[in-house]
Amino acid sequence: MKLLFVGVLALFGTAQTKAQKATEAFKKDSLIIISKDPGKGFNNDYILFIPKGTIKNKLLYLIVEPNNTGKLSDSIEIHKESAIRLASVSSVGNNISTELRIPLLVPIFPRLESKELVYSHALDRDVMLENAKDLKRLDMQLIAMIRDGKEKLEDLGILVNDKIFMNGFSASASFTNRFSFLHPEIIKALAIGGFNGELMLPLSEYKNKKFDYPLGINDLKKFTHSPFNEPAYRSISQYIYMGALDNNDAVKYDDAYNAEEQEIINTTLGNEVQARWQNCQQLYKSENIAATYKTYENVGHETTSKVNLDVILFFNAFLNKEASR
């Protein structure tokens, strides 16, 4: 398999003592693009970012952030360029990776102009029903990438836990939120923000409305082929936040939600972002979801240095807990 190194990996000799090996660290930020491998279950490329200071031969967490180009394009190069920026420069995920010195995985999933109603970067219902090779079951493709990425990292001397950290903002927050219901057993902790105020609910129905995927778990078995893994989902620690001035409302647009989904959301959770955010918080709390909820005053649809720091501290708490064992 072809590996493209955008940056220089720190290479180490083999004739070293155990003490030396225990303190080996990458000398430079390293970005690796791994080519798609349908035989291993992923039909799109993905990125591994390894920050300077990542320790070798020490058990770490892999953090995963889904890509979000922010626009439609049939050119995979557009999505690739955006994903590279996300992995290496401009994302909360990159800040978490850099500050905590843990590897980051970013998929290069397309969001096609020729299929404008398929909001792949939000893992909407349309993409979950897609059969096109590059779009089919992006959730399973991501799991295959994570599995392959762990092998690639191990080849480089980086050991990662079976469970992952996950992060997302805006569409990638919706992707992360929905992925956590589909595959909760592989996630240790997650952080999401800027998600239109609307969260997927751990409920089959609410206010006499059926909540199918991605609104709720009513027909989740259609995609998982097994009952909702509620114990695994409840074990995930979550940091969920919104800006108090965030009125970015994807519910208004047909690419994000179909007419039936829009009607259900607006009549049960609220027809504006901040009202939905308050209602979803209360519903999650009433269902005893293990989450920290945060509203940032004077913040719109964006992240700030304060947001980034709080998310980093949230994940760092797990690293400190592991280190104290």
What residue spans define the domains of the chain? 3-10+19-323
Task: Give the model's pLDDT for residue 18.
Answer: 46
HSE of 114 in the Cβ direction (CA atoms, 13 Å)? 6
Task: Give the model's pLDDT for residue 23.
Answer: 64
Tokens 């778990």 -> residue: 217
The amino acid occupying position 178 is R
Strands (E), the chain: 3-6, 30-34, 46-50, 59-60, 63-64, 104-107, 159-160, 164-169, 187-193, 205-206, 209-210, 237-243, 291-296
The pLDDT tens digits for 40-52 are 999 999 999 999 9
Task: Give the model's pLDDT for residue 8.
Answer: 31
pLDDT of 16 > 90? The answer is: no
CATH code of 3-10+19-323, in short, is 3.40.50.1820
pTM: 0.92
- d(C-alpha 179, C-alpha 175), whole Å: 6
> Any idea of the CA torsion for 285, 287, 288, 293, to the nearest 10 degrees?
-30
Tokens of 87: 């992995």
Which run of H or E residues covers position 272?
A: none
Mean pLDDT confidence for 49-62: 96
Give percent above pLDDT 70 in the chain: 93
pLDDT of 320 > 70? The answer is: yes
Give the model's confidence band at 319: pLDDT under 50 very low, under 70 low, under 90 confident, else very high. Answer: confident
Secondary structure string (H, E, C) spanning 65-90: CCCCCCCCCCCHHHHHHHHHHHHHCC
pLDDT of 143 > 50? The answer is: yes
Q: What is the DSSP string of 92-117?
A: HHHHHHHHHT--EEEE-----GGGTT
Task: Give the model's pLDDT for residue 13.
Answer: 33
> Any idea of the CA torsion for 279, 223, 164, 109, to the nearest 10 degrees?
-100
- d(C-alpha 144, C-alpha 42), whole Å: 6
Q: What's the burial of 40, exposed, middle or buried (CB within 10 Å: 0-12/13-18/19+)?
A: middle
pLDDT of 21 > 80? The answer is: no
Task: Give the model's pLDDT for residue 90.
Answer: 72
Q: To the nearest whole number, what is the mean pLDDT of the chain?
A: 92
Give the model's confidence band at 19: pLDDT under 50 very low, under 70 low, under 90 confident, else very high. Answer: very low
Task: Give the model's pLDDT for residue 313.
Answer: 97
Mean pLDDT confidence for 54-65: 96
Task: Give the model's pLDDT for residue 290.
Answer: 86
- 24 Cα distance to chain centroid: 28
The pLDDT tens digits for 258-269 are 999 999 999 999
Mean pLDDT confidence for 47-76: 97
Give the model's confidence band at 185: pLDDT under 50 very low, under 70 low, under 90 confident, else very high. Answer: very high
Mean pLDDT confidence for 164-181: 98
Cβ neighbour number for residue 256 with a 10 Å cutoff = 21
pLDDT of 176 > 80? The answer is: yes
Q: Among positive and negative, which fits the CA dihedral 238, 172, 300, 51?
A: positive
Q: What's the burial of 288, exposed, middle or buried (CB within 10 Å: 0-12/13-18/19+)?
A: exposed
- d(C-alpha 212, C-alpha 204), whole Å: 7
Task: Give the model's pLDDT for residue 255.
Answer: 94
